[in-house]
Structure 1
Amino acid sequence: MYIVVRTDPGTPRFLTGSPAGHFKGRDPSVAVAALTEAWVDGAEVLYVGKATAGCSGRRGLDVRLDEFRRFGAGEAARHWGGRYVWQLADATALLLAWRETGDADSADAKADLIAEFIAAHDARRFANRIRGRQTRRAAPNSGTDSLDSV
């Protein structure tokens, strides 16, 4: 799993258009009003992503992060998730971190973190616009998101 972190506690400034790539001809830009509505004050972790080895066993974290980087740089890379990140005026100052999930399924781990955040904030993370795997395990009832305390 990987996370995108914004350490600036100030109010974000949003770009009117996204510099990210147009994958399959789709413009990743959203209205500033939608970005403003999606923003969660006080949350440092803006996006949780996952990486798997894929069917061929050749994908993994390095490939997924490269797709995320290339998409944000304007290439038509295969990384639609997290696209709100690229409309932040300070997107180049964001931090990226990752954590191995061991034997745990990364899709389940991602869905659990999203569910924990929703339980704590009554909102989705800024750039996680879907809840993750629909058949996810029940999230722990901790009431806090361990990645937001990083």
Structure 2
Amino acid sequence: MPITKKTLLQDGFTGFRVFDELEIMRVPQGPGIFAILQPEGFEPVFLAKSTAGTFRKKDPSLKKDALEAEWVPEARVLYLGKASAGSQGNRGLRKQIQEFMDYGRGRPTVVWDARLIWQLRDAMELAIAWKEFPAAEVNKAEAGYHADFVDSYGRLPYANLVRARAKN
């Protein structure tokens, strides 16, 4: 079954906040999975240069043909990612999503995943949803969502460039 807003809601995802209206303090602090979704009627317009910050002096921008090749026209979900607890236990959804949003606003950060989001002209119209998971289940959950997406669409979401694998 395709991963949609409806299936994510049924699976316990919450939030579904438009980036431009996201109140970061309302995002839970625990580890979990988050999804980035496009609104109905969203038409992708790819920017020549990403709004994201650099990472290790690398430009996050891809050429337009590479962005078009990653686009999954029939999918509403553009990215499925995880927020682990981190080695010190002080990471989680709020911190990961805050860093992701800062990255899109051009701040340098260690966030490199989902960088294709920030090459969409109307990225701030996208929405983000999340679901908390126990720390020990986050990797398996992310790998499961990636597998389900690939089963439905034959490939990963637009901004997922690497498929997650469950770690033992």
TM-score of the pair, normalised by structure 1: 0.85
Number of residue-to-residue matches in the alignment: 136
Map of 1:131 onto structure 2: 163
Determine if contact 1:9/1:42 at 8 Å carries over to the other structure: no
Map of 1:92 onto structure 2: 124
3-state SS of 1:48 partner: strand
Q: Aligned match of 1:119 in 147, 151, 162?
A: 151
* Worse overlay, 77-86 or 3-12: 3-12
State the Cα RMSD in Å: 1.6
**Distance change >3 Å, CA 11–CA 18, structure 1 → 2:** same
Q: Which runs of 5+ in 2 are unaligned?
A: 1-32
Deviations 1:61-105 (A, max 9, x none): 111111101110001111100000011111010111101124651
Question: Whose strand fraction is larger, Structure 1's or Structure 2's?
Answer: 2
Q: Which runs of 5+ in 1 are unaligned?
A: 138-150
TM-score of the pair, normalised by structure 2: 0.76
3-state SS of 1:2 partner: strand
Q: Aligned match of 1:19 in 51, 58, 75?
A: 51
Which is bigger in relative contact order (C-alpha 8 A, separation at least 6)?
2
1:11 CA displacement: 3.2
